[in-house]
């Protein structure tokens, strides 16, 4: 009896719905639209201090407190008095999601590039940039079973995806 139930359960699970086939004839549907940037929007730069919106990793180095702003860059604080850190400036590093510190050098991603930075209380120096080593790709949305607007190379570099209604979808990611 136990084996009969097991066999019956396996048959039921094996008889799932047919594979989904996307319908490219629909007028509009929920999907993803690429977010484009040109190379000038990918530059590293110093800006005045700003509030943290989406904090990532945090490092304490000497009298500095370094806080990653996910996807945007790095907040630099003077942490001489840990009870009252002073927000000094922001380092724009587009596509920055991760960072690590070793021997006084901060390593940070900048989309596909890896940056080696020297950070002080008043500036940041790019020591080295290794291009195309991380394997960042945004050629498709990260989600599966979704419609999306096909990437148009002439519009710039795809740096992310936004969910929205799209008209007459032509691309689908299973």
In a domain, 21, yes or no: no
Q: What is the CATH number of the domain that holds 126?
A: 2.40.10
Q: How far apart are CA 54 and CA 66, in angstroms?
A: 14
Q: Which of 30, 34, 31 is nearest to 161 (CA)?
A: 34
Question: Is pLDDT at 17 greater than 60 in this prediction?
Answer: no
* Domain count of the fold of the chain: 1
pLDDT score recorded for residue 142? 84
Convert the pLDDT of each residue in 55-92 to its tens digit.
999 999 999 999 999 989 999 999 999 999 999 999 99
3-state secondary structure at position 72: coil
Q: How far is CA 75 from the centre of its chain?
A: 17
Question: Is pLDDT at 16 greater than 70 in this prediction?
Answer: no
pTM for the model stands at 0.69
Convert the pLDDT of each residue in 102-155 to its tens digit.
988 999 999 888 999 999 989 999 999 998 888 777 788 888 999 999 999 888
In a domain, 16, yes or no: no
Residue 151: partners with Cβ closer than 8 Å, 6 or more residues away: 34, 139, 158
């Amino acid at each position: 009896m136990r084996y009969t139930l097991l066999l019956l359960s396996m048959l039921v699970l094996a008889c799932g719905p047919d594979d989904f086939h996307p319908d490219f004839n629909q007028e509009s549907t929920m999907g993803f639209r690429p977010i484009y940037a040109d190379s000038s929007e990918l530059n590293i730069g110093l800006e005045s201090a700003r509030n943290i919106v989406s904090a990532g990793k945090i490092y304490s180095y000497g009298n500095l407190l370094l806080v990653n702003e996910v996807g945007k860059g790095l907040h630099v604080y003077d942490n001489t008095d840990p009870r009252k850190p002073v927000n000094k400036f922001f380092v724009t590093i587009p596509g920055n999601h991760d960072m690590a510190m070793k021997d006084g050098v901060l390593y940070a991603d900048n989309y596909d590039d890896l940056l080696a930075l020297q950070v002080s209380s008043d500036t940041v120096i790019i020591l080295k940039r290794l291009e195309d080593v991380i394997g960042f790709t945004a050629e498709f949305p990260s989600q599966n079973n979704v419609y999306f607007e096909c990437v148009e190379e002439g519009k710039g570099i795809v740096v992310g995806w936004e969910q929205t209604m799209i008209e007459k979808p032509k691309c689908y990611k299973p």
